[in-house]
Amino acid sequence: MKEQAQREDSLLSQLMDTTGAADLADFEGQLSERKSALLFRLTTEIEDAGNALKQAKQLVQKIEKHLAQLKDLQKALAKQR
């Protein structure tokens, strides 16, 4: 953990040395935009997955109900023999 922080500080120092403040500000702005876009895509994907799961559960319930009806019909027909 400490080593990672040192590497990050070193990288930041190198960036500061090789780029101007304006370039760094531009980089931070682009990074912020990319982060926002990624968060939006993740949120959308989570919502889509949740909706798909809800629909799948509803379908399972319908199939279970249909299966129960078929079994009841089978029992009723089997008794008539």
Q: Is 24:15 a contact under the CB 8 Å cutoff?
A: yes
Report pLDDT digits (tens) over 25-70: 788 889 999 999 999 999 999 999 999 999 999 999 999 999 999 9
For the chain, the domain total comes to 1
Question: Looking at the predicted structure, is the pLDDT value of residue 15 above 70?
Answer: no
- Single-letter amino acid, residue 78: A
Q: Closest Cα partner for 48 from 37, 58, 36, 40? A: 40
- The pTM score is 0.59
Structural domain harbouring 44: 2-79
User: What pLDDT sits at residue 57?
Assistant: 98
